[in-house]
Amino acid sequence: MAMRKKGSTRSASRQGKRTKRAGTQSTRDTKTRRGINARYPWKEDPNPYFELRTSDIQGTGAFATRTIRKGTRIIEYLGQRISWRTADKRYDDEKMNRHHTFLFTVDDKTCIDAAVSGNDARFINHSCDPNCEAINDRKRIFIEAIRTIPAGTELVYDYQYERTDDHSAEDERFYKCRCGSPKCRGTILAPSSSDG
């Protein structure tokens, strides 16, 4: 269906008659859609789905400004793409009092450091009982809703940091979870294979 310009009407005597001159194009609606109605709403600034506020879990968190339906792509995780070797040089866990980085795994060679040129996705906190999940879509990371999220609810996903066989009880404390969920496993590390 071709869109008419605002305010134009077809006269009654011409109804049913449609003529198109050679070389003319149909008129399209050129109005840019913004916010929730944008073609890619997760690219909008500010994000139409959430706002940043103080979180009970950790520092700043992302809170839904409207009901977000299950399956909604909320935001892309952006930042500088670097090698893991560079990430290890930037962030030395041995020298940190507690773990706090904005690194996200893309593949076994690359990660995204949202502390450099990152967006608001870096403020979505961890929870062992998440309402969102991270999706790797052709080496781009997106945060999507895994259930309907009511307005005012904090957006959270399970970070599932890589767990190795040599992780100790001290590592479990270093990567302590603060989500407060009844389902909390006590750490932001991925569940151990014995956890199911």
Q: How far apart are CA 106 and CA 126, in angstroms?
A: 18
DSSP H or E segment with residue 88: helix 84-90
Residues 26/2, Cβ–Cβ less than 8 Å: yes
pLDDT digits (tens, 9 = 90+) for 17-32: 444 444 444 444 556 6
For the stretch 154-190, pLDDT in tens is: 999 999 988 888 878 887 888 889 899 999 999 988 8
pTM metric for this prediction = 0.77
3-state secondary structure of 33: coil
Second CATH level (architecture) for the domain 37-195: Beta Complex (2.170)
